[in-house]
Chain A
């Protein structure tokens, strides 16, 4: 079954501390994974995708096929990083396009 698991509903860290938001997936094919972020009262927006291997706002995420994980990391958390983070997996869809499977999300709170 195709599934995305984010085990932590809430993660609280102090400003300046490292952050790791966990994401594990279950998918038989070659996965394409994303991290989306939703700041308070704002829409969901793309943070990064694994195929780009980019760093956005200091965040990075490495796809580990052996562990079927795509954890999101940042070495030094900032207060403005407080938000809801969703991990998402793309899978082929019956409509001929692709669809996202979202994890349940992790709320990150960065404390001053």
Chain B
């Protein structure tokens, strides 16, 4: 089946630094990748949708300059949390939709736990 990986799986950083999270589709091409944020005991909140080669579409309330998304190839999207602060601590999950795939299924990565001190 289609596999999506994320790197790193967890990261701890100091307040004010930037953190980059990678999302890769390992065995398929993903025209669209999605970035979610999951708060403890709460649902997944879509942050942004990125299409390969174009600018990401951000959800209302998500700061574009804070959460930079790049989707440079059909197998890689990156999320950079700039000038991270403790309130950015969360579980970030990416998903990918296979180009020409059946239906609208998304394949999810394992998530990245970000802790900002």
Chain A residues in contact with chain B, CB under 8 A? Answer: 9, 32, 34, 36, 42-46, 49, 51-52, 86, 90, 93-105
Smallest CB separation, B88 vs chain A (Å): 21
Chain B residues in contact with chain A, CB under 8 A? Answer: 4, 31-32, 34, 41-44, 46, 49, 51, 56-57, 93, 95, 97, 103-106, 108-111
Do A104 and B49 touch across chains, with their CB atoms under 8 A apart? no
Partner of B97, one of A9, A52, A97, A104: A97
Query: Is chain B's interface secondary structure helix, strand, loop, or mixed overall?
Result: strand
Do A104 and B105 touch across chains, with their CB atoms under 8 A apart? no
Do A44 and B43 touch across chains, with their CB atoms under 8 A apart? no
Do B57 and A94 touch across chains, with their CB atoms under 8 A apart? yes
> Could you list 8 examples of A-B contacts with CB < 8 Å?
A34-B105, A36-B108, A43-B93, A45-B108, A46-B105, A95-B56, A99-B34, A104-B42
Partner of B49, one of A9, A43, A93, A105: A93
Q: Which residues of B contact A103 (CB under 8 A)?
A: 43
Q: Which residues of B contact A105 (CB under 8 A)?
A: 42-43
- B109's closest neighbor in chain A, by CB? A43
Q: Which residues of A contact B4 (CB under 8 A)?
A: 43
- B93's closest neighbor in chain A, by CB? A44
